[in-house]
Chain A
Amino acid sequence: MKQIQGAFITGYVTISVKGSNPELFFQKCIHSGLTIWDVKKTADDTCTGNIKLKDIKVIRQIKRNSNYKITFVGKKGYPFTVKLFLRKKQLVVGLIMSILLIIFLSNIIWEVKITGVPKEIEEKISKQLESYGIHPGSWIITLESPNSIQQKLVKDVPELLWVGVHQKGTTFFLEGVEKIIVNKEEVKGPRNLVATKKGIIKTMYVSKGLPKVHVNDFVEPGDVLVSGIINESEETDEDEDSESGNKNLELVAAAGEITATTWYEVLVTIPLEASYEHLTGNQEKKHYIRIGSVRAPLWGFGEPDYKNIHSEVVERELNFFKWKLPVKIGETILSEKMYTKVERSREEAINTGIQQAKEDLKLELGQEARILSEKVLHDTIENGKVKLSLYISVEENISEEQPISKSLEK
């Protein structure tokens, strides 16, 4: 039966042979190597049988030399089904249209879901998203990546601490976390002000409490700067300390601002030679469509005549329901880049080193700190690098609140 397997795919026809002894016609056919199956004798002078579609030509030749009458009774198989289907043009057009429609709809945002934030922020986010072009009904492929949307949103909506953007098929999920401005927990109740760093007191402004140090005093970390115990007598002894509650010490929350000159020793290394690359701002965009590994350019031909090129590829996928189509639309951004080499002399290197150290220190200490002076203690050149040891003096606030009960326990 192997010979007739697969006949449905290649197609077969049923023929009816009319004449005297019609079975002899089939005999001739098989003699010339054809395969015939399901042969039936329907009447004395007619016989029906199935032959393969490709054998029809041979049948015609055999028929020419005989006086049998052949009629095609039926045709079955894949080629005929396809033909029948293709003949119905509206059906084919409809099918293609519906597939296109599904692809179209699968690549549209249907829903934007915002969770985790109160209503008014939700409103704000959706308004902001609208301005980015993210709303139900917009094309997914024209949108930016969720990552950059995330960054933009956090920047544009100040109430947001963090927002997670992810796309699941045709839905955009946004999970926001509201920024709750938590004031630094102030130590309530009686407290002292203590030093956090060693330094020399420069200015003192005490609004509440009893100052314990004077301007130009040297303090170590942990020293009490302003005491919250106002009527503390000098002769308070240790045995009386336990009965401090009875003695009715007057306790207040010390407040004030104490700035002191502090100093830092910083080590920096600056290379004498530095090279870096930067983009000149000239760029060209190329668009292409990718099917599997084959790329077909859509827009932007030819190579830009930049000397050095930094290229960036952004690809977007097309969806069909939940599946990703192997078709991708991509964009290549070719930017011109330049290499710059900087050579510094010893003095220049030292200067940049000082600048760098100052900036680093400022970042570390905050905005209120003021750098007073810097001094190069030591510099060496090693392996093309300048090693600097710097001494920087800074004016900054060194006070910190400390509750009194804790200090009493000590």
Chain B
Amino acid sequence: MKKWQQGIRPWLIKYLALPSDIILELPRITIIGQLHVYIENHQGLATFTDSELKLKTNKGFIQIFGSSFVLKMMLPEEILLEGIIKEVKFIPD
């Protein structure tokens, strides 16, 4: 059953043009210049320091490097990061 569901999802995205972040439960990351990173649909905070933010997602982690990081807003499944962003990395499980 689950396999069948996972199989139909890419098909839905391809033919019905449904947004992929919702169908596949993937994080949506919006980056505004070097200033802001807005991450939706994450699964929790793993590490947060002045120069690093690591977030758990459905499939692995997202790691963001930079400097003078401040979490402007924290909500369940949403984070707005402010600072100077240098790198965004995906680390698969």
Contacts and interface: CB of A to CB of B under 8 A. Distances in A.
A41 B47 CA distance: 11
Interface stretch (B3-11, B12-20, B71-79, B84-92): B71-79
A23 B75 contact: no
Most buried by A among B44, B45, B72: B45
A268 interface: no
Contacts of B61: none
B21 interface: no
Contact of B48 (A1, A33, A41): A41
SS of B interface (majority): strand
A4 interface: yes
Interface string B58-73: 0000000000011111
Interface residues of B, number: 15
Interface string A44-59: 1001010000000000
A37 B74 contact: yes
A239 interface: no
A39 B74 contact: yes
B30 interface: no
Interface residues of A, number: 22
A3 B76 CA distance: 12
Given A41-B49, A41-B50, A27 B44 contact: yes
Most buried by B among A4, A40, A44, A49: A40
A307 B44 CA distance: 83
B75 A38 contact: no
Interface of B: 44-45, 47-50, 69-76, 80
Interface of A: 1, 3-4, 21, 23-24, 26-27, 29-31, 33, 35-41, 44, 47, 49
Q: Which 7 A-B pairs have the closest CB atoms?
A: A39-B71, A23-B48, A36-B74, A27-B45, A37-B73, A30-B74, A41-B49
19 contacts: A1-B72, A3-B73, A4-B73, A21-B47, A23-B45, A23-B47, A24-B45, A26-B45, A27-B45, A29-B74, A31-B76, A36-B74, A37-B72, A38-B70, A38-B72, A40-B71, A41-B49, A47-B48, A49-B71
